[in-house]
A and B are shown apart, each in its own frame.
Chain A
Amino acid sequence: MNQTNASGRIALTGVGKIYGAQKVVRDVNVTIEEGEFFSLLGPSGSGKTTTLMMIAGFAETDEGHIRLGDQDISAVPPKERGFGMVFQNYALFPHMSVADNVAFPLKVRKLSAAERRERVQWALETVKLTDFADRSPKQLSGGQQQRVALARAIVYQPRVILMDEPLGALDKNLRFHMQTEIKDIQRRLGMTVIYVTHDQEEAMNMSDRIAIMRDGQIAQLGTPAEVYQHPDSAFVGKFLGEANLLPVTATSATAALRDGATFACRDAGSGVTSEPALLFVRPEKLRLAATPTGLENDVAGRVTRVSYLGSVIRYGLDVLGQEMTADAQNLTGTPAFAEGDSLRVGWAAQDCRLLAPEGDGA
């Protein structure tokens, strides 16, 4: 078994998975660098968990290759891959104490009792659970069980840790807290983490890079800022948060028309030219003003709804007969508008992109 000295770099080339007549994962190509926090993000059925299970070895790699460093591990059984793994419902052994759970991978590897004690102590310290070593997992809260699972995954200091929706069962506050802690531990230990989630905030909060998956394929791959600000498709734009998608007619990759108004956008590289397209712009990029905004894009609109959300005020707008959403920072001095107000809606060319309309109406 080769774990601690192995590389933490994982490369997937042309990876696919077939169940019956259906290809649930298709042509996944990505190289995850040593020490990277990498998320597979997508709705259920997008193939993210299947992809993780192929990396773990629990699912066979039907097509393509998975490499760890320079070694092809596509056909290597899971127990010889030497990855740490955190499962969705933790998969703690209910008949063992917390310490025995954490010691399990060390016992399998036949470490001496003294070394085991030392490593278990270290792992429990890392997840701040030293006082719970002798408890049974059943006596712990969800968050604590999650930490035990984490301690058990890091205890033999694998180069790579795979996590399958590890925070899915926790409530929202605790989730955020655990996200920060997992990220901290990952950075401190320099491990590669491949993380599966359907929660876009979670993925953006933790990841160096995110692969957004859809229908078994990677829809887009990039840093959180890249995929959030510059989605390649309406699907990615909508999946990562609120998005305005205004139907327009594109006249080039950077210009579009609607009802006599002209729009200028940044080149999305999506090949959209002269055809129906969607103009994408995030709600917080819209500037609202009583007089023309002076930005590259500037159209008339009317306020249809005002939601006071605290740090932002969310406006529902009627722009050229289309609904749009604008988020205004709740700063002192930001002009406030009321339902029915007519105003100007503006945004910079660099904040919008022209995307292909979605075929399936999603």
Chain B
Amino acid sequence: MITHRQMTGLLLPMLALLSLVFVAPLLWFFFMSLGELFQRGLGGGLAYAMKAITSKAVVQSLITTVRISVVVTLLSLVLAYPIANYLTRAGKLAFNLVILAVIVPYFTSVIVRTYAWMVLLGSNGIINQTLQSLGITANPLELLYNERGILIGMTYVLLPYMVLTLYAAMKTIDPRLMQAAEGMGASRLYSFVHVYFPLSLPGVVSGGLIVFILSLGYFITPALMGGPGDVMIAMKIQHEVEIMLNWPLAAVLSLALLAVTLLLFGLYIKLGGLKHLVGSDLK
């Protein structure tokens, strides 16, 4: 018999690795950059940080980040809701096919998937060629290198999280409740609004939070599919580190992003979101 304590012990190598390659560099980065910042004294350092955060470029990038994250969250919710609902009702074969379609992107590199979208969405891409040859549009739609491109790419990448979270929540809804509602004279719409949707809310909130959290720090997709004006906070940080070599500013922004993320993640855990995501039984 393996005891609980021994099982916990098995986590140690992983914890050690994470500490070494993730936590330690992060702390070192904060220590070095903030140390540089506070060489000007505590007051001077804070003043610099405030000024940096309220600078036009940073504020602009924060607004862009939140706006994109909110829209991506809403888009993935609208797209994932019917898919998740279908999964709760699907037969075995259909279930496996749909879940495969949802999850396979997980196994593929984000960069590969993003380039694939670029091929599809470009001015001479498949979508624009099809639309033009069908005579639906005269000129190519601008689907890439702008906010539209970011929204399409990120919604696609983050959709599985939303689908799986919603599915886990919806699976706990007793289908007989809808039958009962219908038996009592309710229309499909009425039962959905008053019974099904309220019962699926835990999944909606958890899924929304996880997608929002992941969107806040997203880098690759917006960097490749966005335009020069669409700078999300992660891109801004990268820009400061690699091009401007302004590590103190990058550290301040990173800390702010980390704090917001941890705060939302705490809320997410409190709402039982992790259980939804790993699909454990909630009953």
Contact partner of B185 (CB less than 8 A), chosen from A88, A93, A95, A108, is A108
A328 CB within 8 Å of chain B: no
Give 12 pairs: A residue, B residue, CB < 8 Å, sorted on A: A56-B183, A57-B183, A58-B182, A78-B182, A79-B184, A80-B185, A85-B184, A88-B176, A89-B174, A105-B184, A108-B181, A108-B190
C-alpha spacing A91/B199, complex, angstroms: 13
C-alpha spacing A85/B178, complex, angstroms: 13
A93-B195, A95-B198, A108-B190 given as contacts; is B183 within 8 A of A79 (CB)?
A: yes
Contacts of B179 in A (CB 8 A): 58, 78, 87, 91
C-alpha spacing A88/B179, complex, angstroms: 12
Extra contacts, 7 of them, besides A84-B184, A85-B183 (Cβ < 8 A), are A57-B183, A79-B182, A87-B179, A104-B181, A109-B185, A156-B184, A156-B185
Within 8 A of B (CB), among A79-129: 79-80, 82-85, 87-89, 91, 93-95, 104-105, 107-109
Are A104 and B199 in contact, with the CB atoms below 8 A?
no
Are B183 and A108 in contact, with the CB atoms below 8 A?
no
Contact partner of B183 (CB less than 8 A), chosen from A58, A88, A95, is A58
Residue in B closest to A149 when the chains form the complex, CB atoms: B180
A362 CB within 8 Å of chain B: no
B137 CB within 8 Å of chain A: no
Residue in B closest to A88 when the chains form the complex, CB atoms: B176
C-alpha spacing A80/B183, complex, angstroms: 8
Contact partner of B176 (CB less than 8 A), chosen from A1, A91, A104, A152, is A91
- 3 A-B pairs with the lowest CB-CB distances in the bound complex, closest first: A91-B180, A105-B184, A85-B183
Are B190 and A93 in contact, with the CB atoms below 8 A?
no
Contacts of B181 in A (CB 8 A): 93, 104, 108
Chain A residues engaging chain B, CB cutoff 8 angstroms? 1, 3, 56-58, 77-80, 82-85, 87-89, 91, 93-95, 104-105, 107-109, 152, 156
Tell which of B174, B180, B182, B184 has the most Cβ of chain A within 10 Å.
Answer: B184
Within 8 A of A (CB), among B180-234: 180-187, 190, 194-195, 198-199
Contact partner of B187 (CB less than 8 A), chosen from A79, A82, A85, A94, is A79
Are A105 and B199 in contact, with the CB atoms below 8 A?
no
Are B183 and A83 in contact, with the CB atoms below 8 A?
yes
Task: Looking at the assembled complex, report how far the CB atom of A164 sits from the nearest CB atom of chain B, in whole angstroms.
Answer: 10
Are B199 and A79 in contact, with the CB atoms below 8 A?
no
Task: Looking at the assembled complex, report how far the CB atom of B185 sits from the nearest CB atom of chain A, in whole angstroms.
Answer: 5
B177 CB within 8 Å of chain A: yes
Are A95 and B180 in contact, with the CB atoms below 8 A?
no
Contacts of B194 in A (CB 8 A): 104, 107
Tell which of B176, B180, B186, B198 has the most Cβ of chain A within 10 Å.
Answer: B180
Are B186 and A108 in contact, with the CB atoms below 8 A?
yes
C-alpha spacing A128/B99, complex, angstroms: 48
Residue in B closest to A109 when the chains form the complex, CB atoms: B185
C-alpha spacing A56/B183, complex, angstroms: 7
Contacts of B198 in A (CB 8 A): 95
Are A1 and B185 in contact, with the CB atoms below 8 A?
yes
Contacts of A82 in B (CB 8 A): 185
Are A95 and B184 in contact, with the CB atoms below 8 A?
no
C-alpha spacing A201/B185, complex, angstroms: 33
Contacts of B199 in A (CB 8 A): 93-95
Contacts of A104 in B (CB 8 A): 181, 184, 186, 194
C-alpha spacing A80/B174, complex, angstroms: 22
Contacts of B190 in A (CB 8 A): 108
Task: Looking at the assembled complex, report how far the CB atom of A168 sits from the nearest CB atom of chain B, in whole angstroms.
Answer: 13
Task: Looking at the assembled complex, report how far the CB atom of A165 sits from the nearest CB atom of chain B, in whole angstroms.
Answer: 13
Contacts of B187 in A (CB 8 A): 79
A94-B199, A95-B198 given as contacts; is B174 within 8 A of A78 (CB)?
A: no
Q: B5-46 toward A: CB 8 Å interface, digit per residue (1/0)?
A: 000000000000000000000000000000000000000000
Residue in B closest to A100 when the chains form the complex, CB atoms: B194
Contacts of A88 in B (CB 8 A): 176
A95-B198, A95-B199, A108-B190 given as contacts; is B176 within 8 A of A87 (CB)?
A: yes
Tell which of A77, A83, A93, A109 has the most Cβ of chain B within 10 Å.
Answer: A93
Contacts of A84 in B (CB 8 A): 184
Are A78 and B176 in contact, with the CB atoms below 8 A?
no
Contacts of B176 in A (CB 8 A): 87-89, 91
C-alpha spacing A56/B181, complex, angstroms: 13
Contacts of B184 in A (CB 8 A): 79, 84-85, 104-105, 108, 152, 156
Contacts of A85 in B (CB 8 A): 180, 183-184
C-alpha spacing A1/B179, complex, angstroms: 17
Contacts of B186 in A (CB 8 A): 79, 104, 108
C-alpha spacing A80/B194, complex, angstroms: 19
